[in-house]
Amino acid sequence: MSRAHRGAEPRDAMSRVVVVGGGPAGMAAARAAAKAGVDVVLIDAGAKLGGQYHRQDSRAGTERFGLPPGVEHLAESVVWALEPVPGGHRVHLRTGPADAPGRTGRSIDTPALVLATGAYDQVLPFPGWELPGVYTAGAAQALAKGQGVRVGERVLLAGTGPFLLPVARSLLAVGAEVAAVLEAGNPARWLARPAGLLAGAGKLGELAGHTAALARHRVPYRTRSAVVAAHGTDRVEAVTTTRLRPDWTEVPGSRRRLDVDAVCIGYGFTPQLELAVAAGCALDGGFVTVDSAQQTSVPGVLAAGELTGIGGAELAAAEGEVAGASAARRLGARPAPPVRALRAVRRGRRFAAALAAAHPVRAGWHGRLREDTLICRCEEVRYGELRDAVREREAYGGRALKLVTRAGLGLCQGRICGRVVAELTGELTGEPGQSAAFARRPIAAPIRLGELAESPSAHREPGAGPPRVAE
């Protein structure tokens, strides 16, 4: 049994700020706390800093980001459990190659934990979305920027939101042909929100750059359009697209078949909530509630970035700076109020509100689900099974539904289907579904049974369902 798991070692005992996540928010938090004179541990799953937005080519022998002395950066490290201890939290982590047995275990106690775990793409199911060759937009981006790999030779992008544009550009940069970008919404709605537009002036310049790149490559950009099916036996060979009405139901007779070898989908983002939920942080609308100092409802736990709302890298960095200063204060430092960052947060949130208003997900997509369309990819639960469970067996609550259908019980633990199951259940029952119920994951990251066995201090919630461990 390793000594690290009998409790925190002296240097890991309540003396440092712990930041989880090495993206824009986490890096800014670590820098701000270090600037205030406090020691910091930054834990990140990646081999290099940057997170998803600033993803670096992991094959290059360079590191684009620097952290000040006083920040210990733990790369290739995952936090798999949190437990409350007097005066703060104990953070259990593993360092080493992803999903390998025998990674190094460590536990760190901290009075100030900054969660900056980010978000991942939301995908809405459609017939054939489980075929190899269907990717999230983020996957195409990560593979292009991080690995120099194009997911297909002829690729279709579909979904909603401005993120589709930089992904299209990354695909072009690695030599893919982008057949089209289909935006389900109508971004002309931006014009209805001048305050948000002004707040995002910098962003609009960035978007204009993407649009120009698409125009140069003659990539069609179609609004009010979507993918309704992917075709192929063992991989994607073609897709069917359609035009949409404002409520996202189909315009009859507008279906078109398009030969592509990859399709990338992104309908906005879902926050990576498990650590915030494990800590007991209050949520609102699926995001972590924070005050103006980025403090969550749990003393000693701060949150920054996409966890608190989807607003992009600039806002995330500003929130991170505020959170880092607040965290340093909990360790007795007295940094000057981060006035510029606080202003940037207010401005960024106006932009985020305008963004959310311009790219709502409309319920019309439900109509494209067929009896046999997969909803939960892991457990291969089909729409018909889910609907029958709700209607005939009155399995309303997230937990009851999980047990009856197994939706959300697979390897990803509902990370991909949780929001979709909640939305569909809500529609079927007429009551709002609780997607946060799917973020209750006592084991926050996969660890192997052997690793769990040597970690006796990890806290397990009774009745919270079986922990998901590899092996």
Partner 1 sequence: MKVRIEGREHEAVPGQTVAGVLLGAGMVSWRTTRGGGRPRGVFCGIGVCFDCLVVVNGIPDVRACQRLVRDGDDIRMQHGAELPS
E strand or H helix at 95? strand 88-95
**In whole angstroms, how close is the CB of 98 to partner 1 at the nearest point?**
4
> Phi/psi class of residue 140: alpha, beta or left (left: φ > 0; alpha: ψ in -120 to 50)?
alpha
Identified binder of partner 1 from the candidate list 88, 320, 446, 467, rule CB under 8 A: 446
Q: Determine, following the binding rule CB under 8 A, whether residue 142 of this chain makes contact with partner 1.
A: yes
- Least CB distance from residue 9 to partner 1, whole Å? 27
Choose the binding region for partner 1 from 83-91, 138-146, 189-197, 362-370 (rule: CB under 8 A).
Answer: 138-146
Measured from the CB of residue 123, what is the shortest distance to partner 1 in angstroms?
8
173 binds partner 1 (CB under 8 A): no
Counting contacts by CB under 8 A, is residue 215 touching partner 1? no
CB proximity list for 367: less than 8 A, separation 6 or greater: 249, 250
Angle at the Cα of 248 (from 243 to 253), degrees rounded to 5?
35
* Cα 335 to the center of its chain, rounded Å: 31
The string of DSSP codes covering 199-225 is: HTHHHHHHHHHHHHHHHHTT--EEESE
Binder of partner 1 out of 5, 13, 39, 45 (CB under 8 A):
45
Residue 158 lies near partner 1 (rule: CB under 8 A): no
150: helix, coil or strand?
A: coil
User: Is residue 241 within the footprint of partner 1 (CB under 8 A)?
Assistant: no
Q: Which one of residues 138, 311, 338, 348 is an interface residue with partner 1 (CB under 8 A)?
A: 138
What 3-state class would DSSP assign to 111?
A: coil
CB of 117 to partner 1, least distance (A): 11
Residues 366-425 that bind partner 1 (CB under 8 A): 377-380, 410-412, 415-416
Q: Does 58 bind partner 1 (CB under 8 A)?
A: yes
Does the protein bind partner 1 through residue 214 (CB under 8 A)? Answer: no
- Least distance CB 464 / partner 1 (angstroms): 20
The SS3 call for residue 159 is strand
- HSE value, Cβ hemisphere, 13 Å, CA-based, for 273: 31
Measured from the CB atom, the residue of 129 and 365 that comes closer to partner 1 is: 129
Q: How far apart are CA 7 and CA 3, in angstroms?
A: 8
328 vs 369, beta carbon nearer partner 1: 369
Residue 136 found at the interface with partner 1 (CB under 8 A): yes
Stretch that binds partner 1, among 93-101, 107-115, 194-202, 303-311 (CB under 8 A): 93-101
Residues that bind partner 1 (rule: CB under 8 A) add up to a total of: 48
Q: Is 234 in the site for partner 1 (CB under 8 A)?
A: yes
Non-local CB neighbours of 69 within 8 Å, separated by 6+ positions: 34
Task: State how far the alpha carbon of 300 is from the alpha carbons of 40, 110, 342, 390, in Å.
Answer: 14, 8, 20, 39
Distance from C-alpha of 280 to C-alpha of 399, rounded to nearest angstrom? 18
Distance between CA atoms of 430 and 415, rounded to whole angstroms? Answer: 23
Could you say whether residue 143 binds partner 1 (CB under 8 A)?
Answer: yes
Q: With contact defined as beta carbons under 8 Å apart, do 445 and 381 qualify?
A: no
Min dist CB 84 to partner 1, Å, is 26
Q: Which of residues 272-291 bind partner 1 (CB under 8 A)?
A: 272
Site residues for partner 1 per CB under 8 A: 45, 47, 52, 57-61, 76, 97-101, 120-121, 130, 132-136, 138-143, 146-149, 151, 234-235, 272, 377-380, 410-412, 415-416, 446, 470-471
